[in-house]
Amino acid sequence: MGSLAPVRRQEVRRESSVRIVIGGRYPIFTVGLEQMLGHGGMIVAAVATSPRDLLHFARVKRPAVAIIDAQSGGDWIEILPRLKAACSRLAVIAVIGQGGGVLYSQALRLGCSSVLPTRATRDDLVRAVQSAVRGYGLVETSLLAGLAGQAGMRWQITVLERDVLRCLADGLSNHKIASRLKYSGGTVKNYLRIIFEKLEVSDRTQAVVKAFRMGIID
């Protein structure tokens, strides 16, 4: 694996034993991680096989770190705003395979502390967890260079963001959007901020007009 560079993130609570939740659809990922993390001051508090379960375990188990298999599907990345809204001090590490440039970018943009490739070793994983607990993230230096070259790209609109845009098109307030989509008010605000940035607009009307023009919603 290439060298890892630290990225400063929010302060995360320190614990003598680091509680971790693992999220992924495939046992080859979740079981493998459990075996890698089952000692050395790290406790696997729960294993989630769906994004909904991950959100539930994050609220109930109150872990310091969540490790997700981003290759399990885009919904594992899309859950990040809700996960961060529910557990603001939770550090999230995403594991992504080769060719996942868009996922790399989206994961970092939505608040992952670290992004590791699937070829990461146990030492890499442990270092990422330890760094996350100290408030730092790790990404490969080669990835940082790649992200710098993508600075001008337009970020993809996710399924959940389309749902929010449709609510905007229906003229709903933040409160009514939260009620319809079963989100918190903070999650709705976070989605709107991300949507405005992706579409390069400054208000709700511009977002709806541009979304219709680009065929994002109809």
Q: Find where tokens 């989100």 sit.
A: 183
pLDDT of residue 15: 43
CA neighbor of 86 nearest in space, from 51, 59, 117: 59
CA neighbor of 76 nearest in space, from 96, 98, 101, 46: 96
Six token digits for residue 163 = 């749902």
Task: Write the pLDDT tens digit of every residue in 35-89.
Answer: 888 766 789 999 999 999 999 999 999 999 999 998 887 788 888 888 888 887 8
* Geometric angle at alpha carbon 205, from 199 and 206, rounded to 5°: 35
Domains and CATH numbers, the chain: 4-149 (3.40.50.2300), 159-213 (1.10.10.10)
pLDDT of residue 64: 92
Burial 104-115 (b: 16+ CB within 10 A, else e): bbbbbebbbbbb
Q: Which residues pair with 139 in a beta bridge?
A: 5
pLDDT of residue 22: 96
How far is it, in rounded angstroms, from Cα 164 to Cα 169? 9
pLDDT of residue 164: 92
Average pLDDT for runs of 10 along the chain of length 218: 50 63 92 82 91 94 93 83 85 80 73 82 87 75 50 57 90 93 88 86 87 78
How far is it, in rounded angstroms, from Cα 85 to Cα 83? 5
Q: Which amino acid is at 64?
A: A
Q: Find where tokens 């440039």 sit.
A: 101
pLDDT of residue 102: 67
